Structure 1
């Protein structure tokens, strides 16, 4: 029996004893009933606009369901993403999504069967990575997913903070219709993707996600606004911000807020100009941005960093489905030559010793199975956490999650796996 058939047998056996339960790939005509079950599982009632977008983006052939008779009781899907990894390569990655089980069918092996079947399919497709955002992070560690990126949220007291506008006059700001400006904004987004690990190349149709703006979700804010930062000499787009405002009035006068959807720029002057604009909108007191990289330049642009009330939240979880290919496909910030002993109970083809060698950040890496003595020992979950360069192997070792077997190996590995910019997931999926 092959590893794939063994895994499929394992997925089926996890439902053994529940004769009415069956796991299979979704059919397009079943999408509404399948999604209804997932909404119940998540306790959500999404807007018709958001639901329609997710239906359009669903890859039906990558969507799984568990049925109790003719009723869907659980599901899991995946998107065929390409994700930036350290060094700029765009690596195929399964974007795991829509994972849920009805409350009536929990603790019956449904989730484990879905995860087993899905990871087997990812392996068969040749995708070396699977990634997800977690509604309940504690669930996914047992399936080998490690927290690899964080997101920074900030709430800014506008009147107490300023960002200096560029003085060279190069940048021209212009308000634009968000939909009309979208093609140019998407081209700029695509240029930025290889520069930061964790960013996702947009598949066709995904350009609609940042424009999604159902009135039922605005919470009193204006429709989505878009401001472009262009080169004043030739009109080249250098950055953009999408945002909305909400006006409110009190005894002391206006006290509105600005909700920043995203700020992206290819030039420092454009970024400064955009933030200066957002922090200087009339009739507003507060600027809120929910998803920035943890090393976002805004932290250094503001006049008083204490006025940035910040909050860190978990973002992207990474699972190495094929350890050798994943480690070969990224670059390393420093030379590295060591043997990793990887433990992976859920995908046993990864378990064993792997010889990782790279001469430096501009050189390709090699990673092959070996029988040589190990220098570091770690579970595949921790390898996923460190993979994009934003989580230190030394920090994981300090938490008792990575073991150094050769003196000096931990420092070598930590330096090599790090990266100059923090990884970041620009949007959920």
Structure 2
């Protein structure tokens, strides 16, 4: 029988490794620009290759991020990426072996969280990942939907800018926004280039990437990056504005940017693919039924070290509960943990006290950022209340005043 060798990727193996990843995702090669960017961002000591008979049959890796959590702390998190197994090597335990190796390495690195964006959501629950945030898709009929904008919107100055030339100041604004919403990523240098990656062959008939800045008193208050896809029929123009990303520091700047997108000439649709589920835009549009709203899963999260993870965030209400945690894949988390905390901080330590709630690490991951309710999970039979009142206490404490949101994939 052949054996699979699992080891850290070498620099001279990257092209073969990435080609295997492309094959697993359909076999269409990425553009040279995208390929070059991902190579530049690769942390080689965090990438794994599974080898058999001299060829690569599995890939996995992670990026070092800081994840914003409730309370505004930035917690080290492994951004799991590039996971694939060759179609010829299914059901041989290769994925499980890579996940095992990876989580052991993440724990050794002192990162209490692991996060990922799943190509197929059904895969990762068995490794302890829960859906911790969701994202909003919108396709807005701007010919029929208007905006109610807040006072001060007319005082915001809009200015076109080259997306690359404005990248440094836009990235500084994004960095300022990270702690305002759980689930956002603190990025290492180089990651800002992902926001302006614009291969000509992947525009699908749309324009090159464009950028508009929102300013007041010489201060940058927001930006939007987008493209325009022209289209005509017998009745006239019906182009689409394709929004890449939009960030703003004030309601007026936010509204000014959206109003600009709604009013671009020769267009009748704004398409936004990745927005928070509680996006303020929902409270500005005049007709939400014509906004084509859809929600899907986004960030999947698992605590790698339960105690450190739960102690790293704050809680919106006082909480003192004993959690009976089951973690079959990372057994060091299994057992009882006493979580005490409030809006000023928290601690989470092992205890022999009687449990108040019983759940798996997957449910903890889902609830961790405050976007999924422990009470809703209990309604699905995934959390068990062992002390009357403990579920309401914990569900209230774990909640977040704003929905968690992942602004981009990795």
1:21 lines up with 2:4 in the alignment: yes
Decide which moves more: 339-348 or 39-48. 39-48
Contact 1:86 1:330 in 2 (8 A): yes
Please give the TM-score of this superposition, normalised by the length of structure 2: 0.98
Does the residue aligned with 1:178 lie in a helix, a strand or coil? coil
Q: Deviations over 1:226-261 (max 9, x none)?
A: 011101xx2101111100001111111111111001
Which of these residues, 198, 205, 214, is aligned with residue 229 of structure 1?
Answer: 214
Aligned to 1:38: 21
Q: Give the superposition deviation at 1:51.
A: 1.1
Q: Write the mapping of 1:195-234 to structure 2, written as runs, cut at 5 A.
A: 195-231=180-216, 234=217
Does the residue aligned with 1:23 lie in a helix, a strand or coil? strand
Q: Give the superposition deviation at 1:45.
A: 2.1
Aligned to 2:340: 357
Partner Cα distance (2:21, 2:96) in 1:
16
Aligned to 2:144: 160
Partner Cα distance (2:151, 2:68) in 1:
34
1:147 lines up with 2:100 in the alignment: no
Q: Give the superposition deviation at 1:92.
A: 0.3
Contact 1:166 1:273 in 2 (8 A): no
Partner Cα distance (1:380, 1:286) in 2:
42
Aligned to 2:257: 274
1:387 lines up with 2:372 in the alignment: no
Does the residue aligned with 2:278 lie in a helix, a strand or coil? coil
After superposing on structure 2, the runs of 4+ consecutive aligned residues of structure 1 that deviate more than 3 Å are 164-169
Partner Cα distance (1:46, 1:190) in 2:
28
Q: Give the superposition deviation at 1:166.
A: 5.3
Aligned to 1:375: 356
Unaligned runs of 5+ in 1: 1-17
Q: Deviations over 1:33-63 (max 9, x none)?
A: 0111111111142111111111111110000
RMSD, aligned CA: 0.9
Contact 1:164 1:276 in 2 (8 A): no
Does the residue aligned with 2:387 lie in a helix, a strand or coil? coil
Does the residue aligned with 1:137 lie in a helix, a strand or coil? coil
Aligned to 2:79: 95
Aligned to 1:12: none
Q: Write the mapping of 1:3-402 to structure 2, written as runs, cut at 5 A.
A: 18-43=1-26, 44-165=28-149, 168=152, 169-231=154-216, 234-358=217-341, 360-361=342-343, 363-402=344-383
Partner Cα distance (2:125, 2:48) in 1:
21
Aligned residues: 408
Contact 1:146 1:381 in 2 (8 A): yes
Q: Give the superposition deviation at 1:69.
A: 2.1
Contact 2:151 2:252 in 1 (8 A): no
1:418 lines up with 2:399 in the alignment: yes
Q: Give the superposition deviation at 1:106.
A: 1.0
Q: Give the superposition deviation at 1:164.
A: 3.9
Partner Cα distance (1:373, 1:61) in 2:
42
